[in-house]
């Protein structure tokens, strides 16, 4: 979804810095500068570095909320019937950008929800100082991950939502970019 949004923004004339995790997707538009990262911490640092001079940010990477406290460079051999992993929170990139967002900057978030979707997404929007949030539901067949299609709702600060039908991620990206343009014009 992020690569489709980057392409749609670039087609509208935006200069895009795409901070991407380890994926096999490619970009083709010359207005897209790709920064590769391999961890949530690297993505956090890159976002904090580039956001202050950007017109906005679209936070659509599916960054894990938690990471292991201890990692191993070698295989962990079976020693018992159970293994306990201790996790620590990864940095909340959207919340960090929401705290430093200036007047005139746009901050768009994504929420993947499984229950109380609209309520949880709207709370996330408020908590992280987002201008609007794109809601995905795992309850919708063909939406979300590992598919070329998506079905979204866009929820604004006024809690008004725009609901879209299932369509290709390329067309969903166009819908999101059109909403970005509309929001920035207000």
pLDDT of residue 137 exceeding 80, the answer is: no
Residues 2-185: name the CATH superfamily: CoaB-like (3.40.50.10300)
Alpha carbon of 174 to those of 11, 41, 171: distances in Å? 10, 29, 5
Residues 81 and 101 sit within 8 Å (Cβ to Cβ): no
pLDDT at 172: 95
For 10-53, how does the pLDDT look when each residue is reduced to its tens digit (9 = 90+)?
A: 999 999 999 999 999 999 999 999 999 999 999 999 999 999 99
From the CB of residue 180, how many other CB atoms can be counted at a distance below 10 Å?
23
d(CA 126, CA 35): 28
pLDDT at 141: 79
The mean pLDDT of 91-110, rounded to a whole number, is 97
Share of residues in the chain with pLDDT > 70 (%): 100
pLDDT of residue 148 exceeding 90, the answer is: no
The pTM of this model reads: 0.91
Q: Confidence class of residue 186 from pLDDT cuts 50, 70 and 90?
A: confident
């Amino acid at each position: 979804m992020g690569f489709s949004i980057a392409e749609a923004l670039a087609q509208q004339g935006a200069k895009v810095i795409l901070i991407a995790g380890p994926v096999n997707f490619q970009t083709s538009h010359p207005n897209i500068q790709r920064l590769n990262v391999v961890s949530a911490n690297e993505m956090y640092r890159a976002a904090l570095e580039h956001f202050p001079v950007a017109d906005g940010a679209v936070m659509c990477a599916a960054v894990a909320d938690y990471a292991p406290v201890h990692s191993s460079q070698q295989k962990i051999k079976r020693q018992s019937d159970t293994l306990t992993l201790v996790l620590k929170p990864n940095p909340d990139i959207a919340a960090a950008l929401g705290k430093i967002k200036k007047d005139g900057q746009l901050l768009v978030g994504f929420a993947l929800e499984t229950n109380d979707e609209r309520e949880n997404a709207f709370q996330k929007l408020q908590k992280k100082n987002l201008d609007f949030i794109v809601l995905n539901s795992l309850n919708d067949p063909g939406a979300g991950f590992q598919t070329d299609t998506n079905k979204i709702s866009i929820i604004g600060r006024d809690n008004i939502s725009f609901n879209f039908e299932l369509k290709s991620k390329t067309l969903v990206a166009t819908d999101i970019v059109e909403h970005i343009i509309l929001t920035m014009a207000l």
